[in-house]
Chains A and B, each alone.
Chain A
Amino acid sequence: MLVAGKDLRIERRSRVALQQIVPFGGIVVLVFAFALDSDRTLLSRAAPGLFWAAVLLAMILAIGRSFAVEEANRARDGLRLSGLDGGAIFLGKAAAVAAELLVLEVVVGIAVVVMYDVTLRGALVLVCAGIAATVGLAATGTVYGVLAGGLRARETLVPLLVLPAVMPVMLGATRSFQAALDGAPGDAWPWVQLLVAFAVLIVAAGTVAFGPLLEEA
């Protein structure tokens, strides 16, 4: 209830940011194409990895945005004083980031399919893996976002903290996407399980840790 309300409020505010983060994802797709010398076969084969790399980079921006908003208006204090349970705040923020990421993924996905010459297959796997991965990414980013919140070096610290931690998601997401696109969706399910397990773990950890982290000393 309250959480959903906060979720929507964040999204409405963030719609401005969506106009910057999504294009960023698109540009990264272009950058990779230039980096790989517009080699069609190479791009097509590397598409799952490049897709998720672009999403990962854009996620860093999204997390930064999510917490910059808090800091701008001393909203952090507002959050604490609102009486909302720490876990609920966490789920709300993470859900907002996840929603943004999903929109981003659709757009970047279209760009990748078009520019890297990809044939879409295994839709079910793509959707399941995509959602599980997104939840994992959003939750991890939100946890580290609040962990580094209020620190001057936050913007550079969060990427350094988040990226090594989400390597399992990177692996699971690219492998399952690869399996789906290769026409062997059955191979993907173990990876999807990994993604789901990771998502469950990090959401649980975040729910517990968010409250204490929000309290200032």
Chain B
Amino acid sequence: MNHNWNFVIAGYAIVTGTLLSYAAWVRVRARRLRRTLPDESHD
């Protein structure tokens, strides 16, 4: 009955993949925005 490992692997893969992608997406967008900033301006 150990073939349920498929579901476990699928679950862990989806969770890891999604969270990694999301984190990467947020960070990439932030980095792009930071580059367009003029010099360090303090509000």
Q: Do chains A and B touch in the complex (CB under 8 A)?
A: no
